[in-house]
């Protein structure tokens, strides 16, 4: 899963040469063997490295504050989102919905890898949501639909159908 | 022990009983005094009762009505108590909904079906203290005959249906007394669920209501629901009669299961067994072959399905239609949808009071429909579902959640709660359904939906004995069992089609209720056989 995300990221960044990754441990943490010495371990670390390699530093955030926010969301993705339970999922979606109430992107005013990796991570949760639940977490759904249509992001994931209009408007159901 | 102590002990011993005795005597004296006081009080009251009851013959419990006399007395209906009757002296018979004493007055609310009015007994020159006390003690739900003068009120009485008047009681008699402990309180039975939770007040759950149906049916909500249901039946009959349909009665004890053997009740029939009809299907068609051209029937339908859902009953009332058509089965669809639209219009125009009463306890959106009725093809429905992310095959039947979802998508796109889905896949329809002439995967059959739930299943029927035999064989049905059915098509049968709706389900969905037992007077389901 993580390896596919990294190769999708490479395609998005337009990196010509795809890297070879290996994994370690039973959590299958990706490892990138670099030419000059120490291997890079961890999804977030490798992702940041790739971005720097492609010289697309704006994807890490365009101000000190947004850079910090990007790192925060990447951290959140790997620690809280991956392998969460059903109960935790509800809280995560609720919090994300509240956070996205007045924001188009997770950090700053443009796409960053925080959006990319949160999208990859939250995809399996969104796939399982019923239409009514998607309407309940309306901001998450809006952001999700925006990111999944962003050119070059989606790659390895199937699109999730999102209806343009609300169908559960009544007081009941 | 010394001599003094011994002496002391003896002395004490002697005084002991008298000390205890003293205490005992004191207690007894107090008791006696209390008793005497009570008796004196009672005597005083009794005396006053005897003395002051000048209104003795203006209240009480008369002899049971055994048709002893023909009284030439006009009883006024509560709903007719309006300001134009002000200052008139009238008689009425109603139930005591509540009675509350406040000092020298007693406030009663008298109820008749959906209407209620405030009434008042006050100590004065017409009513005595004893009469007020009597009125306050009448048990709830008792039936009373009341003579009262109608008075206009300055401030509207919000809690009653008759808000502009109140009754000043001159005479009050109990015609039928209710037992003091009611199995459920009517106010609780009418309370909306949410309000009950918020204010910590009781609501009555459905099983209790159904177990004590006689009392539950007295509530304003139940009265409204069943008046509306009566309206549906009447509109159904009137609309179809105007279209030239003939009402028929079909047998309910039949020799062979019509829709397929699994869900049918067996009854013992002398030395053999018979079945309770699952639908009047076969007989409707036989009437068409007998040249009745357009028929409908209203009668019970029995389905032995062990489904414990919000929308299944084992016995319900079926409103069935069957008609011969000229060239295309859409003539049948148009006839049926027009009938449904007339019913909806009739309910909307003539039963607003009932609809609003039900909405007080069960809020819902008003029912929306289009003219002409929206008709979608099955393939379109599947496409809409796929667009919303549902995965299903072209020839799959719609599951209940998908039906509901499609209902919502249709509501959002076309703004209607009522629509027809046409051209169902042949594989999921009964054996007597006419296949589509151009595409063997589909059939000339249709379902109609209200608020996303199915209310009618219908089709063009096969009117050719040979094709019918082929389809029955394909469905592995025992031809012996349906011999007389197939025979009815051997001597000239017109092309025909029809459909059937469930009365309870239509009422439930029109009103936006959530359980079909609310619209069935004495519901029958796998777990309920009484009352």
Per-residue tokens: B299: 């009668």
Which fold is adopted by the domain B222-518?
BirA Bifunctional Protein; domain 2 (3.30.930)
Put simply, the answer to whether B363 touches A171 (Cβ < 8 Å) is: yes
Picking from B229, B209, B204, B184, the residue whose alpha carbon sits closest to that of residue B358 is B229
Put simply, the answer to whether A161 touches B389 (Cβ < 8 Å) is: yes
R_g of chain A computed on alpha carbons = 17
pTM: 0.80
Picking from B288, B193, B213, the residue whose alpha carbon sits closest to that of residue B250 is B288
**In this structure, is residue A159 part of a structural domain?**
no
Annotated catalytic residue B454: yes
Over residues B29-75, the pLDDT tens digits come to 888 888 888 887 777 666 555 556 788 888 889 989 999 999 899 99
Looking at chain A, the whole-number percentage of residues with pLDDT higher than 70 is: 98
The string of DSSP codes covering B382-424 is: HHHHHHTT----TTPPPPHHHHHHHHHHHHHHH--SEEEEE--
Over residues B245-264, the pLDDT tens digits come to 999 999 999 887 655 556 88
Give the A window 98-137 contacts with B, CB below 8 Å: 131
Q: Which domain, by its residues, includes A91?
A: 1-149
Over residues B306-361, the pLDDT tens digits come to 888 888 899 999 999 999 999 999 999 999 999 999 999 999 999 999 999 899 89
Residues in chain B whose beta carbon is closer than 8 A to a beta carbon of chain A? 363-365, 387-389, 405, 408-409, 411-412, 512, 514
Catalytically annotated residue among B126, B151, B213, B312: B312
What distance in Å separates the CA atoms of residue B343 and residue B340, rounded to the nearest whole number?
Answer: 5
**From edge to edge, which strands make up the β-sheet containing B253-254?**
B253-254, B272-276, B266-269
In angstroms, the separation between the Cα of residue A156 and the nearest Cα of chain B is: 18
Label residue B80 by pLDDT band (50, 70, 90): very high
Over residues B179-237, the pLDDT tens digits come to 998 888 888 888 887 776 777 778 888 888 899 999 999 998 999 999 999 999 999 99
CB atoms within 10 A of CB B468: 23
Question: How many residues does the structure list for chain A?
Answer: 173
Region A60-76 average pLDDT: 90
**In this structure, is residue A42 part of a structural domain?**
yes
User: Which residues of chain A make contact with B364, given a CB cutoff of 8 A?
Assistant: 171-172
Residue B421's φ and ψ, nearest 5 degrees, are -110, 120
Could you say which of A161, A169, A172 has the minimum Cβ distance to residue B387?
A: A161
- CATH number, domain of A78, equals 1.20.1050.10
Q: Number of CB pairs < 8 Å for A and B?
A: 28
pLDDT at A30: 84
Could you say which of B364, B388, B389 has the minimum Cβ distance to residue A172?
A: B364
Residue A171 touches chain B, beta carbons under 8 Å = yes
Over residues B478-490, the pLDDT tens digits come to 888 788 889 999 9
**Domain boundaries B72-176, corresponding CATH code:** 2.40.50.140
Put simply, the answer to whether B412 touches A167 (Cβ < 8 Å) is: yes
**In this structure, is residue A163 part of a structural domain?**
no
Structural domain spans, chain B? 72-176, 186-218, 222-518
In angstroms, the separation between the Cα of residue B387 and the nearest Cα of chain A is: 7
In angstroms, the separation between the Cα of residue B229 and the nearest Cα of chain A is: 23
User: Which residues of chain B make contact with A160, given a CB cutoff of 8 A?
Assistant: 389
| Cβ-contact B315, B524 below 8 angstroms | yes
Dihedral sign for Cα atoms in the order B329, B334, B340, B346? negative
Could you say which of A161, A169, A172 has the minimum Cβ distance to residue B388?
A: A161
pLDDT at B288: 94
What distance in Å separates the CA atoms of residue B465 and residue A28, rounded to the nearest whole number?
Answer: 67
- Count how many domains chain A has: 1
Half-sphere exposure of B91 (CA within 13 A, CB side): 10
3-state SS of B286-305? Answer: HHHHCCCCEEEEEEEEECCC
Q: For the packed helices A64-76 and A113-127, what is the interaxial angle rounded to 10 degrees?
A: 30
**From edge to edge, which strands make up the β-sheet containing B445-450?**
B246-247, B294-302, B315-324, B496-502, B453-460, B445-450, B418-422, B374-377
Over residues A3-19, the pLDDT tens digits come to 888 888 888 888 877 77
**In this structure, is residue A69 part of a structural domain?**
yes
């Amino acid at each position: 899963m993580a390896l596919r995300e990294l190769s999708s990221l490479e395609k998005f960044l337009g990196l010509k040469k795809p890297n070879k990754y290996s994994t370690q441990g039973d959590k299958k943490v990706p490892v990138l063997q670099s030419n000059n010495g120490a291997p890079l371990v961890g999804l977030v670390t490798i992702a940041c490295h790739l971005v720097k390699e492609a010289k697309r530093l704006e994807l890490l955030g365009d101000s000190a504050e947004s850079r910090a926010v990007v790192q925060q969301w990447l951290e959140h993705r790997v620690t809280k989102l991956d392998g969460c339970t059903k109960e935790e999922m509800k809280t995560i979606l609720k919090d994300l919905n509240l956070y996205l109430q007045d924001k188009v992107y997770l950090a700053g005013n443009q796409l960053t890898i925080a959006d990319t990796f949160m999208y990859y991570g939250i995809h399996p949760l969104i796939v399982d949501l019923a239409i009514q639940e998607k309407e309940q977490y309306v901001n998450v759904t809006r952001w999700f639909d925006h990111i999944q249509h962003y050119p070059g992001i989606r790659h390895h994931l199937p699109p999730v159908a999102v209806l343009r209009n609300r169908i559960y408007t009544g007081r009941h159901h | 022990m010394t001599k003094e102590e011994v002496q002391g002990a003896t002395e004490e011993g002697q005084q002991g009983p008298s000390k205890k005795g003293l205490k005992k005597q004191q207690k007894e004296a107090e008791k006696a005094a209390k008793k005497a006081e009570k008796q004196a009080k009672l005597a005083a009251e009794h005396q006053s009762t005897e003395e002051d009851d000048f209104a003795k013959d203006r209240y009480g419990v008369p002899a049971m009505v055994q048709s002893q006399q023909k009284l030439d007395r006009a009883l006024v209906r509560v709903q007719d108590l309006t300001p134009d009757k002000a200052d008139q002296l009238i008689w009425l018979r109603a139930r005591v909904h509540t009675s509350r004493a406040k000092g020298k007055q007693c406030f009663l609310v008298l109820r008749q079906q959906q209407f209620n009015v405030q009434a008042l007994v006050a100590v004065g020159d017409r009513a005595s203290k004893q009469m007020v006390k009597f009125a306050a003690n009448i048990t709830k739900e008792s039936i009373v005959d009341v003579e009262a003068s109608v008075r206009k009120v300055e401030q509207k009485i919000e809690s009653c249906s008759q808000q502009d008047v109140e009754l000043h009681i001159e005479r009050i008699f109990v015609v039928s007394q209710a037992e003091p402990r009611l199995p459920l309180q009517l106010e609780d039975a009418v309370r909306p669920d949410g309000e009950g939770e918020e204010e910590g007040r009781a609501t009555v759950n459905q099983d209790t209501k159904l177990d004590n149906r006689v009392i539950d049916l007295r509530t304003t909500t139940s009265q409204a629901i069943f008046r509306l249901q009566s309206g549906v039946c009447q509109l159904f009959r009137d609309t179809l009669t105007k279209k030239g349909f003939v009402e028929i009665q079909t047998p309910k004890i039949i020799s062979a299961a019509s829709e397929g053997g699994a869900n049918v009740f067996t009854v013992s029939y002398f030395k053999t067994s018979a079945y309770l009809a699952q639908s009047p299907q076969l007989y409707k068609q036989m009437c068409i072959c007998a040249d009745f051209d357009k028929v409908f029937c209203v009668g019970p339908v029995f389905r032995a399905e062990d489904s414990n859902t919000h929308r299944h009953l084992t016995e319900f009332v079926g409103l069935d239609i069957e008609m011969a058509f000229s060239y295309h089965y859409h003539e049948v669809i148009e006839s049926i949808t027009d009938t449904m639209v007339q019913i909806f219009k009739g309910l909307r125009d003539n039963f607003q009071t009932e609809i609003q009463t039900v909405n007080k306890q069960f809020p819902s959106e008003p029912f929306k429909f289009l003219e002409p009725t929206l008709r979608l093809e099955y393939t379109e429905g599947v496409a809409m579902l796929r667009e919303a992310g549902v995965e299903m095959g072209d020839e799959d039947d719609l599951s209940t959640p998908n039906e509901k979802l499609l209902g919502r998508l249709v509501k959002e796109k076309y703004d209607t709660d009522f629509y027809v889905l046409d051209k169902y896949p042949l594989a999921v329809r009964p054996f007597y359904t006419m296949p589509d002439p151009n595409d063997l995967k589909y059939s000339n059959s249709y379902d109609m939906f209200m608020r996303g739930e199915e209310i009618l299943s219908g089709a063009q029927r096969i009117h050719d004995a040979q094709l019918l035999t082929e389809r029955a064989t394909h469905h592995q049905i025992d031809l012996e069992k349906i011999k007389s059915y197939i025979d009815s098509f051997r001597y000239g049968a017109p092309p025909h089609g029809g459909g059937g709706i469930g009365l309870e389900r239509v009422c439930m969905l029109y009103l936006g209720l959530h359980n079909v037992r609310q619209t069935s007077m004495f519901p029958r389901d796998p777990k309920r056989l009484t009352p």
